[in-house]
Chain A
Amino acid sequence: MSGPEKKGVPRWASYAAATAILASALAALVYLNRLYPVGLGPRQPIPFSHRVHAGIKQISCFMCHDSATRSSRAGVPPLETCLLCHARIIRNYPWIARLRGHVAQNRPVVWERVNWLPEFVYFDHSMHLMRGVDCGHCHGDVRQMDRVAKARKFEMGFCIRCHKKNRVTHDCFACHR
């Protein structure tokens, strides 16, 4: 009696299936924000981690973004600010050494911008902080972000919802001028 011998599933196929299952599980984790629960932002020239600084070390946002309370812009800190600590601690970690090289050569670091508004929208950080809006309300939980990602879509609906809820200005001229 002869017939096609019942073959077992070829080995490569089971590997492929396993890989596929693993990959889809990974994809599902990424998709469901389990791996990076707060999203993954653009790659920066120096991998500064907000998770380490704001999360683990509990440094205040205003330590570095010091103009947020007194100006429309939060301000990206000058490299000088990094050296407030890193002139003394963790001096030789390769990325920090590179940072110190930038300072030594007076060469700025060109960061990738993460959060931005269209040019016809004028937002003022200081006014929102004055009213006690937490940074995380718009910027998400940066304490968990290694690479800072855009936590919210800055669309008008997002702004208006909050303005409505808090019964604050609905003046078009507040943001558009």
Chain B
Amino acid sequence: MFEISRRTFLWITGGSSIALATDPPRKLVNKLIPKVIPPEEIRPGQWTFYATTCRECPAGCGMHVAHRDGRVTKAEGNPEHPINRGGLCARGQSSLQGLYDPDRVVRVLQRAGDGKTGRKSWDEALDAISSRLRSGGKVAILSSLQTGALADLMKRFAAAFGSNRLLFYEAFNYEAQRAAHQRVFGLPVIPRYDLENSDFILSFAADFLETWVSPVSYARQFAAMHGYRDGAPPNRMAYVGPRLSMTASNADHFFQVAPGELRLVAAALLKIIMDRGWQRNDVSSVRPALETLIASFPPPAVDQGSLVALAQAFSHARRPVALAGPGAASGPAATDAALCVALLNYAAGAVGTTVDFSRPHALSDSARDHELDLFFASLGPQDVLFVLDTNPAYSKSGAAAQIGRAGTVVYLGSLMDETASLAHWVLPIDTPLESWGEYQPEPGITGLTQPTMGRLHDTLGAGDVFLTLARKAGRPLVTERGSGPQDFRGWLRERWNGSEQNWNAALGQGGAWQTAASGSGMTPSLHAEGVTFAARPAAVPVRPDEAELWPWPSIMLFDGRLANRGWLQEAPDPVSFFVWGNWIDLHPRKAAALKIDDGDQVRLTTASGSLRATVRITTEVSEHAVAVGLGQGHAALGRNARGVGANAFVLLGGQQSGYFTTCRISRVTGDALPPIRTSIERKQLHRDVVQSVRFSVLRTMKPGDGDRLHLPLPEDYRPERDMYPPHQHNKHRWGMVIDLQRCIGCGACTVACYAENNIPVVGRELVADGREMAWLRVAPYRVPEQPWRYAWLPLLCQHCDAAPCEPVCPVFAAVHNEEGLNAQIYNRCIGTRYCSNNCPYKVRRFNWVNIEWRKPLDLQLNPEVTVRQRGVMEKCTFCVQRIRQAEYQAAREGRPVRDGEIVPACAQTCPAGVFTFGDLMDPNAAVTRLTRTDPRRYHLLHELHTKPAMTFLRRVENDLV
């Protein structure tokens, strides 16, 4: 008998009994399943990219969706697409979470008379609906904004059943702007705004960097015009509005006015321009109307000197442009403001140059309020109402009751939202990433949508549902050319003339577009007779407990359709840095008058409804306004969205309530969950983390002037300051440059990083404990001495040469790698968190819990990145998986890695071109040039001598205007 120690005995028995009792599930699936006949050009272990079009909002950006082994894992901007040119916003990034949403409707549901829902098969559903149509049901279709093949098909479907009731419902329909353009120019459209070539943007509460019309395109154009190019002063932007939105804090001049004063400021500017003869086009015919408007109200609370300066800057700019917002506003006051803006554009000569009416945006076809009212009023028991992928029951107050009047409501969508819960039939349809389609955001640009992977669930394409229904009801649809394609793909294909080769080329490119000459706009003439202002004083708050309501669309959640996506709920609001919820903004004076404290529960009441939310007291909102974000407060939709925040759409409704009208504020008792903030301090506390340089100084600097940086290279080893020997790098030393003048704070990079690096969404409770996992945050900091400016600091791991995290790790899990990256080796990490304590930039994140990816969200996980487990520290890796991929590719092709070949996820998605990534040891790389010679360069917390690989370029204060 061999000797066995007591310790070994216990170890063996204890271990084996635990193993037997728990039977730990093995993660590994030890099966290999090759294809029988593989598709061409698809190799195991390699990415395949599908070009498609983002349909998360009506902007229609081009996307490349990365596909691997039958599933898609990442959406990126299509660099060739004329709308976004490679950028993508946080919402576009989240399209994958829409596809893999665990709360998706996965089977056909029928709601019986007793309100219970039961499962049905597709055949049962289509038979029942088509027999209803055959027996005289009248068709009405309410859809999200569609163009091209699907729009044509729905029109023909409605016509086949003797109806023309087809409306494209968008909660943000730019009604005021379209009405104003109708009256001033006879063109009820949203024109194309050329911001890139403009040198002065004047925004009237148009949040064009967030949600307004085509935000990725405008963000790119704004960064191009507002960024610093060698020697030239950055162009300027002014913002007039009641709330310091993200767009507003990017403005060089912010004028805070009450909502009702927007039109007055616009009118006053127009009058100044006319009085002083600064106009380029004659608008004197509208002077009487304008003077009536100005005389009907007290003057706006902006001093005359500033107004004159603004009017001068605007009218004397080479190519000025004025933008009218907000997109969701309607009613006389909003139309008045948009009228004044249209006239300003006309007077300043912007129409035909920066405002191009020849290329109206697709949103010009969305339903207008009176069309919607007529549509809803026409619904009756004979009607079969189809609702496609839009949610009026949530975003239009009163719509739920009117939808209920339709005899049969058929909902086609992918989530069980508020409208779906009213429907008799819920038909699960493909998400845009699974379907064929096309979308034309403006004439001359048609994006194609193609399936990027096979279907996840038992769903059908919306077009196929309509085609099948028509066929089953005995009225098969025919195309323009008279043919009757069997499926929607055939329908789409037929609209694309030309050979199979052209079609495949278009699919590969993501659509078809002409390279348009800019500024070739038509110049519509002024219809002065159309210019009449409502001129009725808006209900100016008379009671002390009333204020003008200012609902604003959230950059993350848009009109609320995206509220079930964890990434977007956990991505902070750019200005307040709140996550998971919405809140009410109130000015301190108003709050004091009503005896409301920060964090109190407050009820807002308008004629159409009321909501309750936590109050935030801030001067960011006008004293006469109360602001609340749209998009939250869902009663349905899914587990992430339900019960988070309050729905501000209930306050809007008709002309009696909503924008430019008052709402009552009352303090209520009760405890709701307060909003959580992931960046607590917005003051810089003299740490000077976000630095800027005056343009007058910068102008005199030559390349190479400026700070002497301590680069993360052996040449900057200082024996007197460095405690550890210098790092020798083999071939590369990766570095990044961040241009703070270009950063607009949109947070797309944060969400892209979540998508690329398998970062878990931890949920509200854990975020409240400070346990969010974002590797990259874009925290807002106050710009010193400028009350209305925030500057954003994209903060990710600085990949220091003398990294404070590395020497404190007892197990060498935080190590410097051969190419200069601060590597975090998860399988070695034991979770002491010393590294995080020692990191001066606070960019390390600790896994406090094991995160369960709710199925099928786990299909989104990037197979090139380890999924971390509890007890492990993690941080930015500079997307080392992409570096390796590029290096291996270069090695296989026997060439060096090219500069610009490696693009980390944050840099890829950034619409503003903030990030530059490359090799600091390559003398010709862009990062080397910027790091060594750009006069704006600085290192964050340089006094610590960490020698970071991240170089920031200072913001430029334009003091020469």
Q: Which residues of A are at the interface with B, using a C-beta cutoff of 8 A?
A: 67, 69-73, 75-80, 102-103, 106-113, 116, 118-120, 122, 124, 126-127, 130, 169-174, 176-177
Contacts and interface: CB of A to CB of B under 8 A. Distances in A.
Contacts of B828: 172, 176
Interface in B863-919: 864-867, 877, 880-881, 884, 888, 891-892
B823 A172 contact: yes
A73 B44 contact: yes
A170 B46 CA distance: 25
Interface in B807-831: 815, 817-819, 821, 823, 825-828
Nearest to A126: B892
Contact of A80 (B36, B818, B884): B36
B827 A109 contact: no
A106 B36 contact: yes
A71 B30 contact: no
Given A119-B866, A127-B891, A111 B33 contact: yes
A106 B34 CA distance: 11
A124 B819 CA distance: 18
22 contacts: A69-B892, A75-B34, A78-B34, A79-B37, A102-B36, A110-B33, A111-B32, A111-B33, A112-B32, A116-B28, A119-B27, A119-B28, A120-B827, A122-B864, A122-B884, A173-B821, A173-B825, A176-B823, A176-B828, A177-B880, A177-B881, A177-B884
A53 to B, nearest CB: 16
B35 interface: yes
Contact of A108 (B35, B819, B865, B881): B35
Contacts, number: 118
B45 interface: yes
Interface size, B (range): 35 or more
A61 B33 CA distance: 19
Given A110-B31, A112-B31, A176-B827, A126 B38 contact: no
Given A71-B43, A75-B44, A120-B866, A169 B31 contact: no
Given A111-B33, A113-B30, A70 B880 contact: no
Contacts of B28: 116, 119
A130 B891 contact: yes
Interface of B: 27-28, 30-38, 43-46, 730, 815, 817-819, 821, 823, 825-828, 864-867, 877, 880-881, 884, 888, 891-892
Contacts of B36: 78-80, 102-103, 106-108
Contact of B825 (A72, A113, A172): A172
Of B28, B30, B34, B825, which is in contact with the most chain A CB atoms at under 10 Å from its CB? B34
Contacts of A124: 884, 888
Contacts of B818: 169-171, 173
B825 A176 contact: yes
Given A71-B44, A120-B827, A172 B815 contact: yes
Of B32, B826, B864, which is in contact with the most chain A CB atoms at under 10 Å from its CB? B32
A150 to B, nearest CB: 11
B724 to A, nearest CB: 18
B34 A77 contact: yes
B713 to A, nearest CB: 18
A124 B44 CA distance: 12
A79 B31 contact: no
A119 B865 CA distance: 9
Nearest to B869: A120
A127 B888 contact: yes
Contacts of A77: 34
A109 B37 CA distance: 12
A67 B31 contact: no
A173 B814 CA distance: 11
A73 B34 CA distance: 12
A111 B31 contact: yes
Contacts of B46: 67, 71-72
Contacts of A107: 36
A72 B891 CA distance: 13
B866 A78 contact: no
B27 A113 contact: no
A171 B888 contact: no
Nearest to B893: A70
Contact of A119 (B31, B32, B867, B888): B867
A76 B35 CA distance: 9
A109 B34 contact: yes
B30 A67 contact: no
Given A71-B43, A124-B888, A176-B827, A79 B865 contact: no
A110 B36 CA distance: 11
B825 to A, nearest CB: 5
Given A70-B43, A78-B38, A120 B826 contact: yes
Nearest to A67: B43
A66 B32 CA distance: 16
Contacts of B877: 173, 177
A71 B888 CA distance: 9
Given A69-B892, A108-B34, A171-B823, 5 more contacts: A80-B37, A107-B36, A108-B36, A116-B28, A120-B866
Q: Which 10 A-B pairs have the closest CB atoms?
A: A73-B45, A113-B30, A76-B34, A111-B32, A171-B818, A120-B866, A72-B45, A71-B45, A173-B823, A173-B817
A118 B819 CA distance: 24
A38 to B, nearest CB: 20
Contact of B866 (A69, A174, A176): A176
A75 B33 contact: no
Of A107, A110, A122, A173, which is in contact with the most chain B CB atoms at under 10 Å from its CB? A173
B499 to A, nearest CB: 28
Contacts of A78: 34-38
Given A75-B44, A173-B821, A173-B880, A113 B37 contact: no
Contacts of A173: 817-819, 821, 823, 825, 877, 880, 884
A75 B37 CA distance: 13
Contacts of A126: 888, 892
B892 A70 contact: yes
A75 B817 CA distance: 30
Nearest to B818: A171
A171 B819 contact: yes
A148 to B, nearest CB: 11
A111 B31 CA distance: 6
Contacts of A111: 31-34
B801 to A, nearest CB: 16
A40 B619 CA distance: 75
Contacts of A108: 33-36
A169 B43 CA distance: 27
Of B36, B37, B43, B826, which is in contact with the most chain A CB atoms at under 10 Å from its CB? B36
A104 to B, nearest CB: 9
Nearest to A75: B44
Contacts of B43: 67, 70-71, 75
Given A78-B37, A173-B817, A177-B865, A116 B892 contact: no
Contact of A116 (B30, B38, B45, B815): B30
Contacts of B884: 122, 124, 173-174, 177
A111 to B, nearest CB: 4
Of A103, A176, A177, which is in contact with the most chain B CB atoms at under 10 Å from its CB? A177
B891 A75 contact: no
B388 to A, nearest CB: 34
A61 to B, nearest CB: 16
A130 B892 CA distance: 7
B891 to A, nearest CB: 6
Nearest to B826: A120
Contact of A177 (B31, B37, B45, B866): B866
Nearest to B866: A120
A84 to B, nearest CB: 12
A31 B184 CA distance: 94
A172 to B, nearest CB: 5
B862 to A, nearest CB: 10
Nearest to B45: A73
A47 to B, nearest CB: 16
A169 to B, nearest CB: 6
